[in-house]
Chain A
């Protein structure tokens, strides 16, 4: 597609349920990032993928959070046993390369945990 695509756009779930968020990056972009943005806050780095290298998971807040990416295609961010504090917008971005390429962002998935 022309841009980074994320789904679902909005997700409401009950506390304790698992959720999966999907990101479809721009074709040919080797780098993919996940960020979390709480209401009125800045963006918190979660995880980064670069080609076939081991992902940088240093930003994941707990072991309830995990992400996968197959090659240079779609990525899924999974949150297990969701908590109310997980409510946020989850933004995905992709870039041509790790350092110099501009990051292109999707519109995000808004997660609300009741």
Chain B
């Protein structure tokens, strides 16, 4: 079964600085999708960024970018110019044709003013 591992239960970053959240996954499939979701205290899950495994180019969405290392099965999220509103739980997730969306246990990000 596919598993997603987030090894950092908690992280903190100073406002305006950069932080990287780690994620690794285990799969034998070659075609899949990877995601980072943000969950603020409101509980609403919000998609931050997605990456198709067949694409070599790392996805970027404004201040959010990923470092996708397919051979290493690693998918880290970099948040640049961190803002107070970035404070939330961040979940890494995996999805494929044969697997519904599977989540890691999450990383709680605190942003220090």
Contacts and interface: CB of A to CB of B under 8 A. Distances in A.
Report whether chain A binds chain B.
yes
Contact of A43 (B44, B96, B97, B103): B103
Contact of A103 (B44, B101, B105): B101
Given A42-B106, A102-B50, A48 B43 contact: no
**Interface size class, chain B:** 10 to 19
Interface string B80-113: 0000000000010001110011111110000000
B108 to A, nearest CB: 9
A107 B42 CA distance: 7
A107 B95 contact: no
Interface string A84-100: 00000101010000111
A105 B45 contact: yes
Interface string B13-28: 0000000000000000
Contacts of B43: 89, 91, 107-108
A102 B100 contact: no
Interface residues of A, number: 21
A70 interface: no
Interface in B55-86: none
Of A59, A91, A99, most B-chain CB atoms within 10 Å: A99
Nearest to B45: A105
B50 A56 contact: no
Given A33-B101, A103-B47, A103-B101, 14 more contacts: A33-B100, A41-B106, A42-B91, A42-B103, A43-B91, A45-B101, A59-B100, A99-B95, A102-B50, A103-B45, A105-B44, A105-B45, A106-B44, A107-B43
Closest 10 CB pairs of A and B: A105-B45, A42-B105, A43-B103, A42-B103, A48-B100, A108-B43, A99-B97, A42-B106, A107-B44, A107-B43
Interface of B: 33, 42-47, 50, 91, 95-97, 100-106
